[in-house]
């Protein structure tokens, strides 16, 4: 019989206070930018990413795969097609997450997208494909540095 050592529990989540600080820092970044500039648009996109991710508890890989068709702001929900091998489901969104997503979808995404038929919700910097896991990790890392 093989003995397995107990695994150390590593805290891999943020407290409510830390989460609030992250959202406030990103909102302040957005407010510091001149509206309708590229830097403002990216700040809005990043705030929408944070809000949707925090509101749904999704992992980075799942967030990258969301499409515009998955979001229903009127019903305050988002569809998750596949999750850890299980079939999809519909997740409710909080009012503040819907507000951030609606702002992104109506005021920003149309200007960031380049090309036709780009279904991805969160776009990369060139606007022709989905945002990558590495990009999301970089956004969070930069935000954590600024918040701390």
Give the percent of the chain with pLDDT over 70: 88
Question: Can you give the length of the chain in residues?
Answer: 148
Give the number of other CB atoms < 10 A from CB of residue 121: 25
Residue at 7 is within a domain: no
| Residue 28 structural domain | 16-147
Q: For residue 25, what is the domain's CATH number? A: 1.10.443.10
Report the predicted TM-score, pTM, of the whole model to 2 decimal places.
Answer: 0.86
pLDDT tens track for 39-64 = 999 999 999 999 999 999 888 888 88
Residue at 123 is within a domain: yes
pLDDT tens track for 26-36 = 999 999 999 99
Split into its structural domains, the chain has a count of: 1
pLDDT tens track for 60-116 = 888 889 999 999 999 999 998 866 666 778 999 999 999 999 999 999 999 999 978
Residue at 10 is within a domain: no
Residue at 2 is within a domain: no
Please give the pLDDT value at position 147.
77
Give the percent of the chain with pLDDT over 90: 64
Residue at 140 is within a domain: yes
Q: What is the mean pLDDT of the chain?
A: 88
Contact 123, 65 (CB under 8 A): no
Please give the pLDDT value at position 34.
95
| Contacts of the segment 133-141: beta carbons below 8 A, 24+ positions apart | 133/60, 133/61, 133/64, 136/49, 136/60, 136/63, 136/64, 137/60, 139/46, 139/49
């Amino acid at each position: 019989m093989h003995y397995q050592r107990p695994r150390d529990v590593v805290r891999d989540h943020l407290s409510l206070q830390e989460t609030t600080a992250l959202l406030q820092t990103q909102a302040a970044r957005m407010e510091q930018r001149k509206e309708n500039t590229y830097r403002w648009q990216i700040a809005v996109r990043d705030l929408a990413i944070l809000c949707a991710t925090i509101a749904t508890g999704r992992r980075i890989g799942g967030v990258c795969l969301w499409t515009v068709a998955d979001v229903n702001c009127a019903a305050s929900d988002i569809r998750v097609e596949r999750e850890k091998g299980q079939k999809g489901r519909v997740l409710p969104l909080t009012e503040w997450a819907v507000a951030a997503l609606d702002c992104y979808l109506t005021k920003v995404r149309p200007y960031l997208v380049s090309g036709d038929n780009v279904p991805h919700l969160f776009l990369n910097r060139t606007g022709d494909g989905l945002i990558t896991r590495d990009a999301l990790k970089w956004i969070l890392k930069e935000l954590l540095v600024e918040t701390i």
